Amino acid sequence: MIVAIFLSLFFAGAPQANKNDEPLVSATNPTYLSCMFWTGKEWSKPAARSARTHVVRSAKGFLAYAEVKVVVHDEDCENTSTLYVAPGEGKEFKIVYEKKPSESGGNGIRVIGWSPSGDRLLAEVTVWAYNSDAGFEYIPVIYDLATVSGKEISALDKALIRHFGSNCGFEHKTTRWKTNQQILVKVSPPIGTEDAEEYFCVKEPRLFAYDIQKDTLQPILAKRKPN
């Protein structure tokens, strides 16, 4: 969750930059797949493309991967991110979740992995606006064998707002499973926001365990180094 009103005051142009001041959007990375990419000197012309994640296997033998497809309509770019699951080797992959183009146009996906029991698959969708530097939104997605469907975990944003307050700006990314019902979430200051530092209450990266069934957030304290 990033407070959009603050970001809009400070950024304009291409999507937000990384530590080397190079845009995160990519021609090959399905997390940030874009119709345009930074060549190191200039932006490429819009072009249709696609990219897949690696395949991950569960403890129960299920397989999963994700794919992003980008299409161009009169230089307007639209992304569709799709999550596929198969019940085993040689079995048909079926769509269990799909993120279609929104008003912003940009989205990507990464597959994080199966829960320890192998009953749930964790992925994360990235959403951004083309021709904007308003930042990225990261949304966890969980596919459950019991319901045979993938679902966005929008309650995580609300839990983080309850913890930090509605006037706090930050960026959060899902890292991995902690237990069969808890996921680990890393909360950090948004990248490339030095000019807006006063608006962001998270100064250093922090780790939390989010319980997807109880809708609770628990800080994970960093281990102290021995003297």
Mean pLDDT over all residues of the chain?
Answer: 84
b vs e for 193-204, b when ≥16 Cβ sit within 10 Å of the residue's Cβ?
beebeebbebee
Q: Are 171 and 191 in contact (CB under 8 A)?
A: yes
pLDDT tens, 62-94?
999 999 999 998 878 999 999 999 999 999 999
Share of the chain above pLDDT 70, in %: 82
Banded pLDDT at 192 (limits 50, 70, 90): low
Length of the chain: 227
Banded pLDDT at 142 (limits 50, 70, 90): very high
What is the distance between the alpha carbons of residues 106 and 19, in angstroms, rounded to a whole number?
Answer: 21
The owner of tokens 């992959």 is 93
Asked whether residue 49 carries a pLDDT value surpassing 70, the answer given is: yes
DSSP at 7? H
The owner of tokens 């979740």 is 97
Q: Are 58 and 118 in contact (CB under 8 A)?
A: yes
- Of 204, 206, 200, 201, the residue nearest 219 (C-alpha): 206
Candidate from 8-17, 21-30, 142-151 with smallest mean pLDDT: 8-17
Banded pLDDT at 165 (limits 50, 70, 90): confident
Q: What is the pLDDT of residue 227?
A: 56
Q: What is the pLDDT of residue 224?
A: 59
Name residue 107's beta-bridge partners: 127
Rounded (5°) CA angle 80-81-85: 135
**Of residues 101 and 2, which shows the higher confidence score?**
101
Q: What is the pLDDT of residue 199?
A: 57
Q: Are 46 and 33 in contact (CB under 8 A)?
A: no
The owner of tokens 């119709």 is 35
Share of the chain above pLDDT 90, in %: 60
What is the distance between the alpha carbons of residues 94 and 84, in angstroms, rounded to a whole number?
Answer: 5
- Domains in the chain: boundaries: 4-220
- Residue 188 tokens read as 């950090």
Asked whether residue 29 carries a pLDDT value surpassing 50, the answer given is: yes
Question: What's the pTM value of the predicted model, to 2 decimals?
Answer: 0.84
Q: Are 181 and 211 in contact (CB under 8 A)?
A: yes
- Of 159, 161, 141, the residue nearest 210 (C-alpha): 159
